[in-house]
Amino acid sequence: MLENKVAIITGASSGIGRAAALLFAAQGAAVVVNARDAGRLQAVVDEIEAAGGRASAVIGDIVEDATHVRLVETAQEKFDGLDIAFNNAGSVGPYKPLADVTPQEWHETLSVNLSSAYLGARRQIPAMLRHGGGAIIFTSTFVGTSAGMPNMATYGSAKAGLMGLVKGITADYGALGIRANALLPGAVDTPAAGDQAQKEWAAGLHAFKRIAQPEEIARAALFLAGPMASFVAGTALFADGGNAAVK
């Protein structure tokens, strides 16, 4: 499905990002993967290459513009272009009521979840335009879009802001071949989901009465990245086990 395509994937050392890196590579893409943990990220590259795929690691923090510059440069220099960007990395931030959130916590949460997406898109779009267009995907969430959750107003605000970014990119660049969309998972079985009791509580929020495996969300990202979504832009794809439908 992604033969001869080149993809950037952030937050690729674990969870959804790791699953997407493995899947995209298995589908024929060369992947440039990013995270802050060098050891775990290199393990993803090693796994992809052992399976016959192509991958390169860029260590760095997504809140820094220089990280996105290096990601795009690596895609162009090692794999001759950029077609797909899965801006997946993020952070839940402070888990507390809004009035207890400090200005520093607020700005840090918006930086890692929303401003980093702008920084990525700002560097990715020109490279994609030189390659004839491309697909940009942002990992958002149902929190702040279909439902508010206690103690998560900061996170929800940051992630909901991605929809404004998706729509703006579509208005600016849709006619030039850039497709931007947001992917909205429900709870996913990663370390961030907490202990077993927390996972069971989260499962109850979903119509499926379970939480997702990272590979299930990666498959939704693959759809948005690939040719089957050629007329899909400026929208939100809920991959949430019916979470939004039963609120």
Name the residue ranges covered by the structural domains of the chain: 6-246
Does 149 have pLDDT greater than 90?
A: no
Q: What is the mean pLDDT of the chain?
A: 95
Tell me, what's the pLDDT at 246? 86
**Mean pLDDT over residues 191-204, rounded?**
86
Q: Is 155 a catalytic residue?
A: yes
Does 22 have pLDDT greater than 90?
A: yes
Residue 227's pLDDT band, with cuts at 50, 70 and 90, is very high
Per the residue annotation, which of 95, 118, 155, 173 is the catalytic one?
A: 155
**Mean pLDDT over residues 49-67, rounded?**
98
Instruction: Tell me the two tokens of residue 64.
Output: 């820094």
Does 55 have pLDDT greater than 80?
A: yes
- The CATH-assigned architecture of domain 6-246 is 3-Layer(aba) Sandwich (3.40)
pTM of the model: 0.95
